[in-house]
Amino acid sequence: MADKTLNYTLHRRKSTVGKSKGQMVQVALPSGRSRVGFRHFCERVAKGTTFTAQEVAAVINYSTEIAKDIVAEGHMVEFGDLGVLKPSFKSILVPVEEKFLASKHIVKPVVKLQPSKEYFTLTNVDYERIEPKPKKSKKNEGGQTPPPSDDDSSNGDGHVGL
User: Domain for residue 160, yes or no?
Assistant: no
β-partners of residue 76 are none
The model's confidence at residue 59, banded by pLDDT at 50, 70 and 90, is very high
Asked whether residue 116 is domain-assigned, the answer is: yes
Residue 77 pLDDT exceeds 80: yes
Amino acid 159: pLDDT = 47
- Sequence length of the chain is 162
Query: Is residue 125, in this structure, part of any structural domain at all?
Result: yes
120 within some domain = yes
Amino acid letter for position 101: L
Residue 141 lies in a domain: no
User: For the segment 8-28, what is each residue's pLDDT rounded down to a tens digit?
Assistant: 888 888 889 888 888 888 888
- Write out the DSSP string of 72-137: HTT--EE-GGGEEEEEEEEE----TTSPP-HHHHEEEEEEEEEE-HHHHS--SEEEEE-PPPPPPP
CATH of the domain at 99: 4.10.520.10
Domain interval for residue 54: 4-12+26-134
**Is there a contact between 7 and 31 (Cβ–Cβ < 8 Å)?**
yes
> Taking the CB of residue 76, how many other CB atoms lie within 10 A of it?
14
- The yes-or-no verdict on residue 83 having pLDDT over 90 is yes
| Residue 106 belongs to a domain | yes
Report yes or no on 100 lying in a domain.
yes
Whether residue 115 lies inside any domain: the answer is yes
Helix, strand, coil share of the chain (percent; to 5): 25, 30, 45
pTM: 0.62
Number of domains composing the chain: 1
